Amino acid sequence: MEQKKRIMSGMRPTGKLHLGHYMGVISNWINLQNEYDCYFSVADWHALTTGYDKTEQLKENVLNVVIDWLACGIDPKKATIFVQSTIPEIAELNIYLGMVTPQNWVERDPTLKDMAKILKNKEGQNSQIGFGLMGYPVLMSADIMAVNAHYVPVGIDQVAHVELTRDMVRRFNNIYHTDYFIEPQPKLNKCSLLCGVDGAKMGKSFNNDIKISDDEETTQKRIMQCITDRSRARKDDPGHPDKCEVAFKYWQIFGTEDELKNVEEECKAGKRGCADCKRQLAVKVNEYFKDIRDKRKYYENHLEEVKLILDEGTEKSRAISKKVLEDVRNIIGMY
Ligand code: ATP
Ligand code: MG
């Protein structure tokens, strides 16, 4: 039998997950887990890059990420779920990769600006980018290469890192005269970037997100904050769905084709006020996540089950990374 190709991806335990994670990535994982050998990592070292001094909730956040995944439909019988920091081989690979990575490869990382913004929000103008944060693209390559993955399903903001990993694979293979590492490819979902209620990328750290775990009332409140067509003064003015910065985009994701057509026509004709439109949208979003939210409550009340899933996943994932690192040490010529 032909071996299934490997998939690797992860999320930072910096808070509960949001609709961007679901639409951009998790819904993709749910399909991929049927066809591929999947490894999903709770990337707690990556959480430290911006939250090294705020670790009180780290353990709780790790469990929350896993609970979100399970509630959404990641099936531990099909996919391997583990915590990054329980696999020391990833840290070892990070050291070897750091040796072969030119400094300007990490300096030109386009997401560094976003990460700097997270830090600035937290620490103010004088915030410093740490050595760990600077090196996070290398660590992410180590995550991917520690299971020698073929594909990396991520949101669009992470594609540059997968590209960098490809560069790193080529460089490593070249330097050590090997073809050991596979050049991984990104896998994007139909929706690869969901915006937050303010129109910017929805992010855990930007206070613009709607959580998968939010209750109906909180979701409704959040959706009422969505930016619509800024040029529209009164609710019976003709609206411009194409200029509606957030609400119409959400309709495109959560509405049926008929609903979408209806919203578009009513908006253009000035028969649909933005507030009513968002109230209806909130009902749609709440319906969409109802079962997931119920399932989430089950796991919240069965934490032992969640921890067992992590223990089993770690064992499986570590066995693979141990073998990769044994090979890497041989390839490099370590003692
Ligand atoms: P933080 O603000 O703490 O960085 P985040 O919301 O960006 O959190 P991450 O854990 O950094 O979440 O990202 C995990 C994965 O989810 C990545 O593959 C990323 O591309 C994807 N992702 C994050 N936000 C979105 C979004 N708004 N739309 C689509 N995909 C997203
Ligand atoms: Mg992020």
Atom of ligand 1 nearest to the CA of 155: 20
Query: Contact at 8 Å (CB) between 98 and 182?
Result: no
In this predicted structure, what is the pLDDT of residue 227?
92
Pair (288, 166) in one structural domain: no
In this predicted structure, what is the pLDDT of residue 111?
82
Name the closest-CA residue to atom 6, ligand 1: 203
Whether this model's pTM surpasses 0.85: yes
User: Closest-lying ligand to the alpha carbon of 205?
Assistant: 1
Q: CB within 6 Å of ligand 1 — which residues? A: 11-12, 14, 20-21, 24-25, 154-155, 157-158, 192-194, 201-205
Pair (163, 49) in one structural domain: yes
Pair (188, 287) in one structural domain: no
Round to whole Å and give the CA distance between 18 and 33: 20
Ligand 1 centre distance from Cα of residue 204 (Å):
7
In this predicted structure, what is the pLDDT of residue 1?
61
Ligand 1 centre distance from Cα of residue 11 (Å):
7
What's the distance, Cα to Cα, between the start and end of the chain in Å? Answer: 36
Name the closest-CA residue to atom 18, ligand 1: 154
Atom of ligand 1 nearest to the CA of 23: 29
Phi, psi for residue 10 in degrees, rounded to 5: -160, 170
Round to whole Å and give the CA distance between 41 and 20: 18
Ligand 1 centre distance from Cα of residue 264 (Å):
29
Q: Tell me the pLDDT of the chain averaged across its residues.
A: 94
In this predicted structure, what is the pLDDT of residue 250?
95
- 34, HSE (Cβ side, Cα atoms, 13 Å): 5
CATH number at residue 220: 1.10.240.10
Given ligand 1 and candidates 9, 19, 25, which is best to mutate, with the most ligand atoms within 8 Å of its CB? 25
The helix/strand/coil state of 37 is strand
In this predicted structure, what is the pLDDT of residue 145?
98
- Domain assignment present for 164: yes
Name the closest-CA residue to atom 8, ligand 1: 204
Pair (149, 275) in one structural domain: no
Pair (280, 308) in one structural domain: no
Ligand 1 centre distance from Cα of residue 61 (Å):
15
B/e letters for 16-49, b = 16+ CB within 10 Å, e = fewer, are bbbbbbbbbbbbbbbebbeebbbbbbbbbbbbbb
Neighbours of 89 (CB within 10 A): 20
In this predicted structure, what is the pLDDT of residue 75?
98
Pair (97, 125) in one structural domain: yes
- Domain assignment present for 281: yes
Pair (36, 166) in one structural domain: yes
The helix/strand/coil state of 44 is helix
Pair (170, 239) in one structural domain: no
Ligand 1 centre distance from Cα of residue 111 (Å):
11
- Domain assignment present for 116: yes
CATH number at residue 154: 3.40.50.620
Sign of CA dihedral 272, 278, 282, 288: positive
In this predicted structure, what is the pLDDT of residue 204?
85
User: Closest-lying ligand to the alpha carbon of 42?
Assistant: 1
Ligand 2 centre distance from Cα of residue 203 (Å):
7
Domain that holds residue 72: 6-194+303-332
- Domain assignment present for 120: yes
DSSP 52-118: TT--TTHHHHHHHHHHHHHHHT--TTTEEEEEGGG-HHHHHHHHHHHHHS-HHHHHT-TTHHHHHHH
In this predicted structure, what is the pLDDT of residue 221?
96
Pair (185, 255) in one structural domain: no
Given ligand 1 and candidates 109, 157, 163, 193, which is best to mutate, with the most ligand atoms within 8 Å of its CB? 157
In this predicted structure, what is the pLDDT of residue 146?
98
Round to whole Å and give the CA distance between 175 and 100: 8
Query: Closest Cα to residue 180, out of 323, 84, 7?
Result: 323
- Domain assignment present for 129: yes
pLDDT tens-place values along the chain, 335 residues long: 678 999 999 999 999 999 999 999 999 999 999 999 999 999 999 999 988 998 999 999 999 999 999 999 999 999 999 999 999 999 999 999 999 999 999 988 888 877 777 778 877 777 788 899 999 999 999 999 999 999 999 999 999 999 999 999 999 999 999 999 999 999 999 999 999 999 999 998 788 999 999 999 999 999 999 999 888 888 888 889 999 989 999 999 999 999 999 999 999 999 999 999 999 999 999 999 999 999 999 999 999 999 999 999 999 999 999 999 999 999 999 99
Query: Closest Cα to residue 141, out of 110, 175, 168, 173?
Result: 168
Pair (16, 133) in one structural domain: yes
Given ligand 1 and candidates 27, 122, 195, 204, which is best to mutate, with the most ligand atoms within 8 Å of its CB? 204
Query: Contact at 8 Å (CB) between 210 and 195?
Result: no
What is the tally of structural domains in the chain? 2
- pLDDT tens-digit profile of 108-140? 888 887 777 777 887 777 778 889 999 999 999
- Domain assignment present for 201: no
Ligand 1 centre distance from Cα of residue 206 (Å):
11
Name the closest-CA residue to atom 15, ligand 1: 11
- Domain assignment present for 26: yes
Pair (139, 46) in one structural domain: yes
Pair (174, 51) in one structural domain: yes
- Domain assignment present for 199: no
- pLDDT tens-digit profile of 195-228? 999 999 999 878 899 999 999 999 999 999 999 9
Query: Closest Cα to residue 165, out of 189, 145, 150, 187?
Result: 145
